[in-house]
Amino acid sequence: MQTIPSITTVVNGSSFSVNLSLKIKNLKPHSFSSPSKILNYEIPPNAHSSSTPHMPGLCRASQVAELFPTTSPEIVVREARIEDCWEVAETHCSSFFPEYSFPLDFVLRFDRLLGMLFGFSIPKGCNRTCLVAVIGSSGEDSFFVGSDEFKIGGFEGKFSLNKGYVAGILTIDTVADFLPRKGPLRQRRRGIAYISNVAVREKFRRKGIAKRLIAKAEAKAKAWGCRAIALHCDHSNPGATKLYSSQGFKIIKIPSGANWPHPRISADVQFNFMMKLLHSSR
Ligand SMILES: CC(=O)SCCNC(=O)CCNC(=O)[C@H](O)C(C)(C)COP(=O)(O)OP(=O)(O)OC[C@H]1O[C@@H](n2cnc3c(N)ncnc32)[C@H](O)[C@@H]1OP(=O)(O)O
């Protein structure tokens, strides 16, 4: 049994805590996710549809994707926008903590949402982006409200009417909190992008979505000038380990006794540290 002491979200420097004081049996994420304080929820399968008023001829993108998951094959991988953030939280929580149910799931999803939007402070000069694989959107958009310059958390501050349904997510940054710092001044390592929070909704798995997200992340890392890309993957997640190995990531053996930072998720989770060199196309 593990206790969830509280859920804390930092919004513009202020901390909000919800003390849930719950004991949940065998609470353990499926694999590594970012160090934000996140937990799961699972909305009942019909909640989406029942909360949507019936409008003949009109249907939400998520309903289209749920009704026709295999007949709507077009998958677009792009940077997440503000309009995607609820579905990103849903994808994250239902993938990493599928055991939760309503109403706790809802609270946790909301906490995740606030954490994503306001809970990260990025050091100057670092990049951070959330990528999404969406289904049911017709390719790249041309009509937006908002601007490329404006970002909230890892999300672009712009909206489009051509939204699609988020089926997979991935976060990439250059913060590299989990890499050893260099020299006596413990300087942050440059040129190594870090991947976390890779998740694909259960019903869309084994369709190559994670592969597409990783390919886009690599392109992003190259565009940022990175020479390598790294991640931590839970030892007991052979599916994810196979995914990364198949994409060219190698398990890096950490020298025994080395004082490497460890993802702050749970003391008893063991991780493989995996890395891939990015060859420039020049
Ligand atoms: C750095 C991190 O964030 S690690 C965290 C990884 N995330 C999770 O564990 C959350 C729960 N799991 C998931 O969301 C998904 O199962 C993921 C992200 C691991 C994989 O997503 P998918 O879209 O299903 O992967 P994708 O279809 O691109 O698979 C590509 C290849 O990876 C391997 N692979 C993926 N999943 C599995 C699996 N469960 N078992 C065995 N091999 C697998 C296979 O080689 C697969 O190719 P194939 O289908 O042709 O055999």
The pLDDT, as a whole number, for residue 46 is: 38
Nearest atom in ligand 1 to the alpha carbon of residue 197 is: 3
Please tell me the distance from the alpha carbon of residue 220 to that of residue 74, in angstroms, as a whole number. Answer: 21
Q: Which amino acid is at 223?
A: A
Distance from the CA of 180 to the center of ligand 1, in angstroms?
Answer: 27
41 is a catalytic site residue: no
Mutate to test the pocket of ligand 1, among 206, 216, 245 (most ligand atoms within 8 A of CB): 206
Confirm or reject: Cβ of 203 under 6 Å from ligand 1.
no
Closest CA to 163 of 73, 48, 93, 62: 62
Confirm or reject: Cβ of 30 under 6 Å from ligand 1.
yes
ipTM of the complex: 0.99
- What are the backbone dihedrals phi and psi of residue 75, each rounded to the nearest 5 degrees, phi first? -115, 125
Confirm or reject: Cβ of 243 under 6 Å from ligand 1.
yes
- Give whole-number Cα distances, 151 to 14, 136, 154, 189, 213, in Å: 20, 24, 7, 24, 20
The first and second tokens of residue 111, run together, are 């906490």
Residue nearest to atom 46 of ligand 1 (CA): 243
Nearest atom in ligand 1 to the alpha carbon of residue 246 is: 45
pTM over 0.90: no
pLDDT band per the 50, 70, 90 thresholds, residue 237:
very high
Nearest atom in ligand 1 to the alpha carbon of residue 243 is: 32
> What pLDDT, in 10s, does the model give residues 43-81?
333 333 333 333 333 344 444 444 444 444 689 999 998
Confirm or reject: Cβ of 210 under 6 Å from ligand 1.
yes
> What pLDDT, in 10s, does the model give residues 7-47?
333 333 333 333 333 333 334 444 444 433 333 223 333 33
